[in-house]
Amino acid sequence: MNEERLRQAAHHLLEVERLVVFTGAGASAESGIPTFRDARTGLWARYDPSELATRSGFFRDPGLVWRWYAWRRRLVEEASPNPGHQAIAALERHIGQVTVITQNIDDLHQRAGSREVLHLHGSLLQYKCFEEDAPRLLPEGALEADKPPRCTCGAPLRPDVVWFGEAVPREAWRQALECCQECELMLVVGTSGVVQPAASLPYVVKGYGGKVIEVNPEETDLTQVSDLFLAGRAGEILPRLVEIAFDGRPGGEDR
């Protein structure tokens, strides 16, 4: 059944000039970076990630939040892009305009070779002053420390990520909306579709006449808005999709 759907999805890919790939934590799962759901079964199982990823969590215990992000950063630094990231990057060789809109705070899309990546939730590899909301470099040894370093203004530094309850970066959101209004197709990969406002983007695509294809091992809140649902892992489905659509391996000849 998936094979027939894959062929239909490949057919859509062949026809588009403007594609958006919208990714969530599941896109990086096969690189060994836990999704929030996975994190509940692992090292940090005692903590609810959605509570660590809040301003109130940081106020309550800045050291705990600092160590959690330092741990996540190490995981990302030790990880490599998986075949799903690589297949997404390969799409740029075949389709006029490909924009990746990601909720992920890792840099695995860029390391796989994707050139246009909009980060809706910031980056785990960058830091800012908690008070001044301006970028800051980390002092030596900060990632091994038990608590966050201080800015020259005295406020703690924090990862430059969007916590629950915070606004998404204005410019990235503006560009994301524009791409979703203009694209003919959105591939939704590895997101549970529950974090707003990001989860509204597939609805924007539909509202402007585009199609939505979802890749996920499980159905999600976004499955109802999807024209096609491809059940499976991103690292298996996406390379196969690129292969069927463009008659070669990911990274093969242009059409």
Give yes or no for residue 195 binding ligand NAD (CB under 6 A): yes
- Binding residues for ligand NAD, total number by CB under 6 A: 27
The answer to whether 109 is a known catalytic residue is no
Task: Specify the residue, 151 or 202, whose C-beta has the smaller distance to ligand NAD.
Answer: 202
Q: What count of other Cβ atoms lies within 10 Å of the Cβ of residue 194?
A: 12
Give yes or no for residue 233 binding ligand NAD (CB under 6 A): yes
**In the set 29, 70, 100, 201, which binds ligand NAD (CB under 6 A)?**
29
Contact set for ligand NAD, span 74-93 (CB under 6 A):
none
3-state secondary structure of 228: strand
Residue 43's Cβ-count burial label (10 Å; 0-12, 13-18, 19+) is exposed
Task: Specify the residue, 86 or 104, whose C-beta has the smaller distance to ligand NAD.
Answer: 104
- The stretch among 5-13, 58-66, 104-112, 178-186 that binds ligand NAD (CB under 6 A) is 104-112
Tokens linked to 62: 């800045």
**In the set 86, 110, 114, 191, which binds ligand NAD (CB under 6 A)?**
191
CA–CA gap between residue 97 and residue 111 (Å, rounded): 19
The size of the chain, in residues, is 255
Task: Specify the residue, 108 or 151, whose C-beta has the smaller distance to ligand NAD.
Answer: 108
3-state secondary structure of 182: helix
Sheet holding 228-231, edge to edge: 117-119, 97-102, 18-23, 185-189, 211-216, 228-231
- The stretch among 88-96, 103-111, 136-144, 168-176 that binds ligand NAD (CB under 6 A) is 103-111
Task: Specify the residue, 77 or 247, whose C-beta has the smaller distance to ligand NAD.
Answer: 77
CA–CA gap between residue 15 and residue 13 (Å, rounded): 5
Task: Specify the residue, 24 or 239, whose C-beta has the smaller distance to ligand NAD.
Answer: 24
Give yes or no for residue 26 binding ligand NAD (CB under 6 A): yes
**In the set 220, 230, 242, 250, which binds ligand NAD (CB under 6 A)?**
220
Supply the DSSP string of 69-113, one letter for each residue.
HHHHHHHHHH----HHHHHHHHGGGTSSEEEEEE---S-HHHHHT
Q: Residue 103 half-sphere exposure, CB side, CA atoms within 13 Å? A: 24
CB of 174 to ligand NAD, least distance (A): 19
What is the contact surface with ligand NAD in residues (CB under 6 A)?
A: 24-26, 28-30, 33, 35-37, 103-106, 121, 189-192, 195, 215-218, 220, 233-234
What is the set of active-site residues? 121
